[in-house]
Amino acid sequence: MKIAFLDRSTLSPDTTLRLPAFAHELVSYDHTQPGDVASRIADADIVITNKVKLTAETLGQASRLKLVAVAATGTDNIDLKACAERGIVVSNVRNYAGHTVPEHTFALMFALRRSICAYRDSVKAGRWQESGQFCYFDYPVRDLAGSTLGIIGDGVLGNAVATIGRALGMQVLFSAFKGHSGQGSLYTPFDDMLARSDVITLHCPLNAHTRNMLGAEDFAKMARKPLIINTARGGLVDEAALALALRSGQISGAGFDVVSAEPPAADHPFMALLDLPNFILTPHVAWASREAIQGLADQLIDNVEAFVRGTPVNVVVAAA
């Protein structure tokens, strides 16, 4: 049985990827360009991909393909409809990031709320000596305790963030779906959440309903000038509109770990914000603690082995 791993370098080199416990040939590629996908999966029985796209056209050329094992939770890089039509099972990795993503989310919150990066840079520039006293107040410092945290997404990660927020003394609001009402008392209407939150953090999938969920009209409704934190998916926020909202003062800061195109091009709106003291961009590493990546790798191979045993798990698309 042939297994093709299309982007092994998206897992840390420190990660142990154990060999599946069945007879197989594993071919690993560090990277796979779009033009190489078809040839690399043509004779594969199992394909492992993290971010490489599998389109209907390339899937149609893989006559032996039985399983696409996604080395991530998100499957927006896979044509799921085409897989279903061809009887290709798709599995993903779940609940491996329950600590690492919430911790990164709060790292961004703390850094922005307390101006950590701005103060660090000013110390490097000699501002402390220039001040002539034991401290100085060039940048705002605010507590998270007593503030309101708006969470978009109520899955494992959203709930983990809520737990930490409550432990820090924050009031937590789970947002209702944008444009919907009647979800019950556990959810705050979307526009109310925008108006009441001091921090808004996103933990939802990217799909047709959530793409550009936060845009210019939404930033205008943010009465408390919140921080915007996105450790979920690029594309959930209109990035050009966010840049304008940040520069105009409609929001007080933004911390992003994800961008709609990764890596972002030199002319991406976020690249012009990097010198601002209230903007932080990290390179999609919220998921990437050593512990989380190893857990992902172990679960990935568990998924492959379960499929070969005839008992597939973590199934996104089942065989017809």
CATH number at residue 107: 3.40.50.720
Domain range for 36 is 2-96+290-317
Classify burial at 109, counting beta carbons within 10 Å of its beta carbon; exposed 0-12, middle 13-18, buried 19 or more: buried
pLDDT range class, residue 244, cuts 50, 70, 90: very high
Same domain? For 272 and 128 the reply is yes
Provide the domain count of the chain.
2
pLDDT range class, residue 184, cuts 50, 70, 90: confident
Same domain? For 28 and 175 the reply is no
What's residue 181's pLDDT? 75
Same domain? For 229 and 260 the reply is yes
What's residue 258's pLDDT? 98
For range 146-159, the mean pLDDT:
97
Using CA atoms, how far apart are residues 219 and 280, in angstroms rounded to an integer? 18
* Average pLDDT over all residues of the chain: 96
pLDDT range class, residue 320, cuts 50, 70, 90: low
Residue 155 has pLDDT above 90, yes or no: yes
CA distances from 110 to 107, 157, 217, 278, 305 (A): 5, 18, 27, 12, 41
Same domain? For 294 and 274 the reply is no
Same domain? For 154 and 196 the reply is yes
For range 205-216, the mean pLDDT:
93
In whole angstroms, what separates CA 7 from the centre of its chain?
18
Share above pLDDT 70 across residues of the chain, in percent, rounded to a whole number: 100
Same domain? For 90 and 108 the reply is no
Same domain? For 134 and 30 the reply is no
Same domain? For 268 and 155 the reply is yes
Q: The whole model's pTM is what? A: 0.90
Residue 100 has pLDDT above 80, yes or no: yes
Same domain? For 275 and 295 the reply is no
pLDDT range class, residue 57, cuts 50, 70, 90: very high
Q: Which residues contact 123 (CB under 8 A, 6 or more apart)?
A: none
Same domain? For 223 and 111 the reply is yes
What's residue 180's pLDDT? 81
What's residue 177's pLDDT? 92
pLDDT range class, residue 130, cuts 50, 70, 90: very high
Residue 237 has pLDDT above 70, yes or no: yes
Residue 78 has pLDDT above 90, yes or no: yes
Residue 225 has pLDDT above 90, yes or no: yes
- Please identify every residue annotated as catalytic: 233, 262, 284
Residue 182 has pLDDT above 80, yes or no: no
What's residue 160's pLDDT? 97
Same domain? For 61 and 109 the reply is no
Residue 76 has pLDDT above 80, yes or no: yes
For range 254-281, the mean pLDDT:
97
Q: Which two tokens stand for residue 144?
A: 């998270």
What's residue 170's pLDDT? 98
Contact between 51 and 77 under an 8 Å Cβ cutoff? The reply is yes
> What Rg do the C-alpha atoms of the chain give, in angstroms?
22
Same domain? For 250 and 294 the reply is no
For range 197-211, the mean pLDDT:
94
Range of weakest confidence among 12-21, 180-189, 232-241, 270-279? 180-189
What's residue 319's pLDDT? 77
Q: Which two tokens stand for residue 86?
A: 């061809």
Q: Report the amino acid identity of residue 72.
A: A
